[in-house]
């Protein structure tokens, strides 16, 4: 998800790779693996306009953020139930 967030913010797979201290090839491979696994395109690339998330990529990122929020809420509740 961090890759998608960086692509969304920078419009560049290359910049996302640099921010994550990864090679372009490694980041691109992770994107392609995820697309294959989900059977949908999540990043659109264009030599002129750069990279951007597809609708499916944006939806995936939105769902991940919701999942993370719900997990943190549940984690806080469980922690409070045990330690308070």
CB 17 within 8 A of CB 26: yes
| Domain at 39, CATH number | 1.10.10.10
The 10s digit of each residue's pLDDT in 54-64 is 999 999 999 99
Domain that residue 36 falls in: 2-83
Q: Would you state the pLDDT for residue 21?
A: 97
Angle formed by the axes of helices 2-10 and 55-83, to 10°?
130
The 10s digit of each residue's pLDDT in 14-66 is 999 999 999 999 999 999 999 999 999 999 999 999 999 999 999 999 999 99
Could you give the number of structural domains in the chain? 1
Q: Are strands 50-53 and 43-46 parallel, antiparallel or unpaired?
A: antiparallel
Q: Would you state the pLDDT for residue 50?
A: 93
pLDDT band at 84 (very low <50, low <70, confident <90, very high): confident
CB 43 within 8 A of CB 31: yes
């Amino acid at each position: 998800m961090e890759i998608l967030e960086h692509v969304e913010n920078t419009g560049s797979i290359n910049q996302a790779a640099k921010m994550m201290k990864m090679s372009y090839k490694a980041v691109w491979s992770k994107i392609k693996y995820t697309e294959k696994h989900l059977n949908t395109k999540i990043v659109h690339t264009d030599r002129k306009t750069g990279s951007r998330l597809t609708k499916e990529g944006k939806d995936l990122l939105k769902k991940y953020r919701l999942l993370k929020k719900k997990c943190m809420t549940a984690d806080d509740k469980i922690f409070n139930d045990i330690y308070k």
